Structure 1
Amino acid sequence: MRIRIRHETTYRYLEPAKSAIQHLRLTPRNFDGQHVKDWRIDVDRDCRLMASEDAFGNIVHRFTADGPFDSITTMVEGDVTTFDTSGVASGTLERFPPELYLRETPLTAPSPAILDFARAAGAREGDALAALHALLAAIYEKMEFDTDATHAATTAAESFDHSKGVCQDFAHLFIACARAIGAPARYVSGYYLRTDGDAQVAGHAWAEAHVPDLGWVGFDPAHGVSPGERHVRLAVALDYLSAAPIRGARAGGAGETMEVKVRVAPTHGQSQSQSQSQ
């Protein structure tokens, strides 16, 4: 499937910012599940984009913009051809052994309740892959998607206690559960081509777990499926903080607000897209 993506992020300030620096993890890499046909990044300020790779092998662009300015907009746009690999993320760039992804972080640390939940969900399954699919189904059944219930710093334990959250929370919870049963797991940021008319947050997130004899396998607990042709993979890390599409800092610029607009659509056939400001 060939998918066209446009992702625009605008920061606005009640008081002009003196300068800003941003790190962008907004460029997908090729692997067996996707091929990037074209991709570009534009910033509406006079700056130079510097490309590099982070410790996980994600493509990172960084820039510094000098003000004063009352807004700054970053836009990425491109075409990606995706392939159905039954959720297996083969051909990816790997910098670390899978065991690194057993490491807990504040966002993914399991509570006693999560440990009990994870062990109960996977206890009846005879192999690692079946246990992970059981976790996927259990989280999808338990959790309610609610854009008002959590925020960027919400932990897996907090969202589990409220049984609500967004795709970021679902991914963190799956990671916590997978690690609890001994499976290395990591966070994945990206995009998803929806088939319905429901509202979509800017971008998407899911998880990958390492399975013996298979390698890294994707699990999308927000939809209860393994990633397929409708998923476009951007970046991986231990949790959201190291895979966030945009992170940065500024001097001045009090009263910051952010607006995000995302459009994900097939390049041929009937258009399917969502756009939301937040």
Structure 2
Amino acid sequence: MILTVNHVTTYDYDAPMGTAVQSLRLFPSRFDGQRTIDWSVAVEGGVKGGSFRDGAGDRVEGWSIRPPVEAVTITVTGQVETFDTSGVLRGHRELVHPMAYLRETVATWIDDALQELGESAIEGASDMLDRAHRLSAAVAEAIAYKPGVTHTHTTAAEALAQGEGVCQDHAHALVAAARAVDMPARYVSGYLFATEDGAPHEAAHAWAEIWVEGIGWIGFDPANECCPDERYIRLGSGLDAREAAPIRGITQGAGEERLDVTVALEQLQQ
């Protein structure tokens, strides 16, 4: 499948700000499940700085905008050919050891409920792959997909207690539940092509990857109750949403910020 992406993020300020610095993780991952045909990332009025590939194999690019900063607009356009690898992250080069992803963060802190969810989910599992599938199914059952009921800083424990959330909450909960039973897991950001089957989705999407010994990293999307396939474009990963965020930035000044995001995915060819 060939997917086109048009992703525009705009930060507006009610008063001119000082220098803005952006760290962008907005580039398709290199692995067997996708091939970048064309890709462009631009920051209006910005100056491109250094670019590097981090230990997790993700490309990161720095940008700065000189003052006065009244708005920051980041535009991503491109085409990616995707392939269904049943969620397996084959051919992806990285240096970070999987065991590093057993660490907890504020967003994935494991409370008693998450510990119980993880332990009960894997009861009777035949092997580690079966455990991973059961964990994803348990999170999908425990947290109903409902936009608008959580926010950026909602933790996995809070989403589970509430029983509702969006893809970020599902991903955080699955990461926490997997780590609760000593399975390395991480948060993944990317895009999801909108289908017509009525399944919940967000064009800018998030899911989780769980390390299964003998296979490697495997993606699981509890929000859609599946493993990532050719409808998904993978951008980057981290311990949680903050680490895997496609855009991270710092702006000097006391002005209030307003965020506007539009993401459109289209299929060009099957």
TM-score by length of 2: 0.95
SS in 2 for 1:161: helix
Q: In 2, distance between residues paired with 1:2 and 1:202?
A: 15
The residue number in structure 1 matching 2:265 is 264
Q: In 2, distance between residues paired with 1:73 and 1:261?
A: 11
Matches within 5 A, 1:78-97: 78-97=78-97
Q: In 1, distance between residues paired with 2:120 and 2:25?
A: 36
Q: In 2, distance between residues paired with 1:36 and 1:105?
A: 32
1:49 Cα deviation after fit: 4.0
Q: Show CA shifts across 1:217-257 (max 9, x none).
A: 11011101001000100001111111101111111251210
- Range that drifts further, 115-124 or 191-200: 191-200
The 8 Å contact of residues 15 and 255 in structure 2, kept in 1 or not, is answered as: yes
The residue number in structure 2 matching 1:273 is none
Letter aligned with residue 163 of structure 2: S
Task: Tell me if 1:192 matches 2:192.
Answer: yes
Report percent identity of matched pairs: 42
The residue number in structure 2 matching 1:14 is 14
Q: In 2, distance between residues paired with 1:18 and 1:87?
A: 43
The 8 Å contact of residues 49 and 62 in structure 2, kept in 1 or not, is answered as: yes
Task: Give the gaps of 5 or more residues in structure 2.
Answer: none
The 8 Å contact of residues 18 and 253 in structure 1, kept in 2 or not, is answered as: no
1:73 Cα deviation after fit: 0.3
Q: In 1, distance between residues paired with 2:199 and 2:179?
A: 31
The residue number in structure 1 matching 2:232 is 231
Assess, with a 3 A threshold, how the Cα gap between structure 1 residues 69 and 202 changes in structure 2: closer, same or farther.
farther
Q: In 2, distance between residues paired with 1:261 and 1:200?
A: 14
SS in 1 for 2:26: strand
Task: Tell me if 1:181 matches 2:188.
Answer: no
1:208 Cα deviation after fit: 0.6
Alignment: residue pair count: 269
Matches within 5 A, 1:101-116: 101-116=101-116
Letter aligned with residue 168 of structure 1: Q
TM-score by length of 1: 0.92
Q: In 1, distance between residues paired with 2:200 and 2:143?
A: 18
- Range that drifts further, 27-36 or 53-62: 53-62
The 8 Å contact of residues 88 and 215 in structure 1, kept in 2 or not, is answered as: yes
The 8 Å contact of residues 14 and 253 in structure 1, kept in 2 or not, is answered as: no
Q: Show CA shifts across 1:22-61 (max 9, x none).
A: 1110011221111111101111114224312234221111
Q: In 2, distance between residues paired with 1:36 and 1:253?
A: 39
Assess, with a 3 A threshold, how the Cα gap between structure 1 residues 167 and 199 changes in structure 2: closer, same or farther.
closer
Q: In 1, distance between residues paired with 2:211 and 2:109?
A: 18
The residue number in structure 1 matching 2:172 is 172
Letter aligned with residue 181 of structure 1: V
The residue number in structure 2 matching 1:276 is none
Assess, with a 3 A threshold, how the Cα gap between structure 1 residues 49 and 251 changes in structure 2: closer, same or farther.
same
Q: In 1, distance between residues paired with 2:128 and 2:235?
A: 26
The residue number in structure 1 matching 2:41 is 41
Letter aligned with residue 48 of structure 1: K
Assess, with a 3 A threshold, how the Cα gap between structure 1 residues 43 and 188 changes in structure 2: closer, same or farther.
same
Letter aligned with residue 208 of structure 2: A
The residue number in structure 1 matching 2:223 is 222
SS in 1 for 2:18: strand
Letter aligned with residue 47 of structure 2: C
The 8 Å contact of residues 13 and 253 in structure 1, kept in 2 or not, is answered as: no
1:199 Cα deviation after fit: 8.2
Q: In 2, distance between residues paired with 1:225 and 1:199?
A: 11
1:203 Cα deviation after fit: 1.0
SS in 2 for 1:263: strand
The residue number in structure 1 matching 2:67 is 67
The 8 Å contact of residues 20 and 69 in structure 2, kept in 1 or not, is answered as: no
SS in 2 for 1:47: strand
The residue number in structure 2 matching 1:274 is none
